[in-house]
Amino acid sequence: MMKLVRTFFDEKGVEQGLAEVLASLAITIGIIIFSFIIHLVLKKVFLRIVTKIIRKNKLIWDDILLERKVIQRAILIVPGVLFFSLAGIYENPDITRIVERLASTYVMVIVMFVSSSLIDSIDDIYRTKPISKIRPIKGLLQVVKIAVYIVIAIIIIATLLDQSPLILLSSVGALAAVFSFVFKDSILGFIAGIQLTSNDMLRIGDWIEMPKYGADGDVIDITLNTVKVQNWDKTYVTIPAYSLISDSFKNWRGMHQFGGRRIKRSIYIDVNSVDFCTQEMIQNLKKIHYLKDYVTEKEKELEKYNKENSIDTDQVINGRRMTNLGTFRAYLKNYIMNHPGINQDKLMIVRQLASGENGIPLEIYAFTRDTAWVSYEGVQSDIFDHIFAVAGEFGLRVFQSPSGYDIKSMKK
């Protein structure tokens, strides 16, 4: 072929040296046009047929490969292969060698892009599986991608320098210190990712808190170097992966697995409002649905105790008596036990804590049935709305610091 083209230019009266250059240029242009036509056919015919087949079937993985342009980029390898195969046409060893090197370099660059798309596709396909939230592999795939880039880059350099890739690969060991410094964060992130996934410390979808980095929300992505968190105010925070190993963070996954969200809040009772129950109050308390059985049984218990111990009950201070605070505590326990929003299978306590300058803390400790934030806040608010409203029925006052209204009332 080269000889025919060169003869054509010789017949036109072109000098021998120039004829050699023009013949090489003409063949190069011809190969480029031929490669472009082949690429056009593959893109307009082959790719369209493959796309229609992929769109019609019910498989997911092939759609992902198409969206990540794995097939589109793989088609670009064909022109490079054609160039390499037709390099012998030049009939000049030096030109042939140069063309083969350039074609090989082009093919390796395209292979790099195809590999990148393929690795991203593997991650996308893996994310469609439920296990991806428990064992994310994006960090591992990023390490594989870096390794592929390094190997292909070495092969490209070796091809351009006409050296064996093994010689350059053997020198990687000498550059290990440099790589470890440059990719320090990636190496630490990779190690942290392995620890996080192998110990099941973090999953995509977990709600975590890490005040040091301003993180309080759901984990939406775990990469080689960072963990991406979407806060409840819809802002994003990226946390270095290694920090999740070296520092502490709170993971709320256990709450969802437990099946209940904890209510742990106190209401403060004014100490001066605590008193013994009078007979009139006891009779009124018996009319309360959640207290009728409790008051009746408590009366019998106290009466029996006082008789057995020959206690003179004419004096209020003598013997055992019911108090408004104790009865109120019993009422709250029964109320919570019958509340539809409280999980009855979990621990429930209404307890009195040590009194302080704000009065006597009466703490509610229970778990809601629903772990959703909105539902949880609704149940908690409903319970404490009721507690504040009924405290006065027991002769109790809820403590609060004096307000402007209180001072104005005292003045009057």
Q: What pLDDT is recorded for position 150?
A: 82
Average pLDDT over residues 133-161: 80
Comparing CA positions, the residue from 345, 352, 346, 360 lying closest to residue 329 is 352
Dist. CA 357–CA 271, nearest whole Å = 10
Residue with more model confidence, 29 or 77: 77
φ, ψ dihedrals at 25, nearest 5°: -65, -40
> Tokens for 357?
């300058």
Q: Kindly report which listed range (23-37, 202-216, 218-232, 384-398) carries the lowest average pLDDT score.
A: 23-37
Q: CATH number for the 195-252 domain, one of 3.40.50.2300, 3.40.50.10470, 3.20.20.80, 2.30.30.60?
A: 2.30.30.60
Say which residues have a Cβ less than 8 Å from residue 290's Cβ, sequence separation at least 6.
331, 334, 335, 338
Phi, psi of 96 (to 5 degrees): -60, -45
How far, CA to CA in Å, does 58 sit from each of 54, 62, 146, 159, 342? 8, 9, 33, 43, 44
Both structure tokens of 298? 């408590």
Q: Specify the residue for token string 């001066």.
A: 272
Percent of the chain topping pLDDT 70? 85
pLDDT of residue 351: 94
37 compared with 23, residue with greater pLDDT = 37
Q: What is the mean pLDDT of the chain?
A: 83
Is pLDDT at 383 greater than 90 in this prediction?
yes
Residue 337 is predicted with a pLDDT of 92
**How many other CB atoms are found less than 10 A from the CB of residue 130?**
6
Pick the more confident residue, 310 or 264.
264
- CA 204/CA 225 separation, integer angstroms: 15
What would the pLDDT profile of 310-367 be if each residue is shown by its tens digit?
Answer: 887 777 788 888 999 999 999 999 999 999 999 988 999 999 999 998 999 999 999 9
Degrees (nearest 5) of the Cα angle 263, 267, 269? 160
Lowest-confidence range among 63-67, 261-265, 407-411? Answer: 407-411
User: Residue 218: what pLDDT?
Assistant: 93
* Distance, CA of 59 to CA of 20 (rounded, Å): 54
pLDDT exceeds 60 at position 210: yes
Q: What is the pLDDT at residue 256? A: 81
Cα dist. 410→14, 397, 400, 406 in Å?
117, 17, 16, 6
Strands 360-368 and 349-352, by their bridges, are antiparallel
pLDDT one-digit tens code per residue, 60-104: 888 888 888 888 888 888 888 887 877 766 666 777 788 888 888
Q: How many CB atoms lie within 10 A of CB 19?
A: 19
| Helices 77-85 + 16-41 axis angle, to 10 | 140
pLDDT tens, 217-242? 999 988 777 889 999 899 999 998 88
Q: Where are the domains of the chain?
A: 2-188, 195-252, 261-411
Highest mean pLDDT: which range of 39-43, 144-148, 207-211: 207-211
Residue 344: φ, ψ to 5°: -75, -15
For position 1, what pLDDT does the model report? 53
Q: What contacts 90, CB < 8 A, 6 or more positions away?
A: 2, 24, 27, 96, 99
**290 pLDDT more than 80:** yes
CB atoms within 10 A of CB 134: 13
Confidence of residue 9 (pLDDT cuts 50, 70, 90): low
Instruction: Decide: residue 283, CB within 10 A, 0-12 exposed, 13-18 middle, 19+ buried.
Output: exposed
- What confidence score (pLDDT) does residue 349 get? 94
